[in-house]
Structures are given as structure tokens and as C-alpha cells.
Amino acid sequence: MWFKNTSELTILNLLYLQMKNKLKTEESNITTKTEFVLLGFSDIPNLQWILFGMFLVIYLSILMSNSIIIMITRIDSPLQTPMYFFLSNFSFLEICYVTVTIPRMLMDLLTQKGSISFLACAIQMCFVLMLGGAEGLLLTAMAYDRCVAICDPLHYPLVMNHKVCVQLVAASWTSGVPAVVGQTCQIFSLPFCGSNRINHFFCDIPPVLKLACGDTFVNEISVYVAAVVFIMVPFLLIIVSYGKIISNILKLSSASGRAKAFSTCSSHLIVVVLFYGTATITYLQPKSNQFERLGKLISLFYTILTPTLNPIVYTLRNKDIMVALRKLFGY
């Protein structure tokens, strides 16, 4: 290439160097991001200590109440049934679930920093999704247990033997692991540039995806597919189970029998509505309609409020549990 004078060559060299430096800067913005910042509740700084105290009390109450349920279902002989075997596993799952999010949130409220490493964020997301998926599948197993108990009581001890119960619990814990690990790896293999501030109190899929660069369409589709498989399919199975249960209850001639059957199932149904309602809004809502503040509020429901209410629902609406509690505390 020929240039009329050296000034043109100098200008081209300067343009080349400027473009090269810009590309290096953009590349470094994408590749050197090593941590995120969880904003949590930083938009209400005057309430940080109140929130810390409130969430600490909630966390300790969840640990204590679920631990009591696990203990009484182990030591009280009338509670050595499949229904309470599932309930004790559900209580243990709730303890694990809240432990993934609340201690981290308490630390952020205490230090008011919110910094979380790239790896720690990925691990937290993985466990939140894995335990949330396990909870949904375990609720489905519990619905199946109630369906067999009410619709086929004569064969119930044979169908729901200990081996089957263990297999259902093991399947609930492990079925979603490959999909969750793959989903997490897929999301965190995306390039992240620009802001590293996550407007949430834990690493959840919607707020993290908002920070990703480039086209996230494939990732969003995979999230919807996973949500359909691990939220909608189990929920539909629960609806079918309860359809059969209600149909059989209405056939009972005894009013007391109908009342007892409804009482046994109502607590489980309340938990199902709370869990699946909030999870569906979070993961099946179109990205264009997602509001960050509303997302945080809904997340509070299924990560904190629902685990807080579950022990209350299962104890206050269950006569066997109340009797076992009276025995435990000597009333």
C-alpha cells in the first residue's frame, strides 16, 4: 500500500493502536471478572440490623422446628410409617435448603459488603437449584404416598414398603443433579462484562443471567425446559394424585372418615401450593416481565417464608405430630 505522505501513515497507526487497546480493554472486562457483589437489601440501609435480627430468628426457628420433627419421627413408634418417613426427609431437606442461602445473607447484612467469588456464586446456585428440585420431587413422592394410602388402603403396606420409600427419597435427591450441574456450568461459561452487581440476596438464575454478555437465548430456553421438567411435571402429577384422592374421599360414607382424610392431606396441599406457586412465577416468567424487586420478594417466599411455615403447617394440622410433641415435652 502506498501513502502520499507520512502523516496518513501516522494517523492509520494511531487508529490501529486505539482499536487494539479498545479490544484488549473489552477482553479484560470479560475475562478478568473474578467476583460478584450481592446487593441484597442495600437499598434499605436503615433496616439492615432489623433484617439481620429477623432473619437470624427465622433461621434458628427453622433449624429447631425441623430438627424436632426429625427427632420425633425417629423416636415415636406410632410415627414409624411411610408418611412420616417422607416428612422427616423433607424436614432435613428444608434445613439444607435454608443453610445454602440464609447464613450467607446474614453475613452480608452484618458486613455490608456482599462480595462473593465467581466459584462461590456458582456453587450456591448449584445447591439452591439441586435442593429446590429435590424438594419438588419429594413433594410428589409424598402425594403418591397419600394417594396409595387413601385410594388403596389394603395394599398400602405392600406397595409403600420401606425399600420403595428409600428408593423414592433417593430418586428425589439425585434425579436432578446431572441437569442442575449442567445448567450451572452452562450459565457460568458465559462471558460476564460490565456490572458485576447482582440485585439479589443469593445467586439465582434470572439475576445472574442479566449480567451475561451476548445472546443468552439458549440459556433461557434451557431454564424454561428444566422448569417444565422439574416444576410443572411434578406439579401435574401431584394434581392427578389429589384428583384421585378427592374422588375417593367423596365416596366415603362416614363424615368423620372424610374429615380425617381431608385433614391428613390438607397440610401437604398447603405446602405444595406455597412452593410451586412461587417457583413457577420465578422460573417460568418471561425475562421481559421480570422486575428485580418483585423477584427478590418472591424469592423470599420460597427460600425463607415457605420453610418457616412448613413445620407449623405440618404440626398444627396433624394430630399424630401434636400427640408426639406432648409426649416429648411431658404434657
Report pLDDT digits (tens) over 64-88: 999 999 999 999 888 899 999 999 9
At 2 the pLDDT is 47
Residue with cell 413408634: 77
Could you tell me the CA-to-CA distances from 236 to 75, 106, 147, 275 in Å, in that order? Answer: 34, 36, 14, 14
pLDDT for 3 equals 46
Is the pLDDT score of 209 beyond 80?
Answer: yes
Strand pairing report for 197-198 and 115-117: unpaired
pLDDT in tens, 104-156: 999 999 988 889 999 999 999 999 999 999 999 999 999 999 999 988 999 99
Q: What is the pTM of this model?
A: 0.84
Residues paired with residue 198 on neighbouring β-strands, in sequence order: 38
pLDDT at 20 over 80: no
pLDDT of 257 strictly over 60: yes
Write a three-state SS string for 65-113: HHHHHHHHHHHCHHHCCHHHHHHHHHHHHHHHHHHHHHHHHHHHHHHCC
CB neighbours of residue 98 within 10 Å: 23
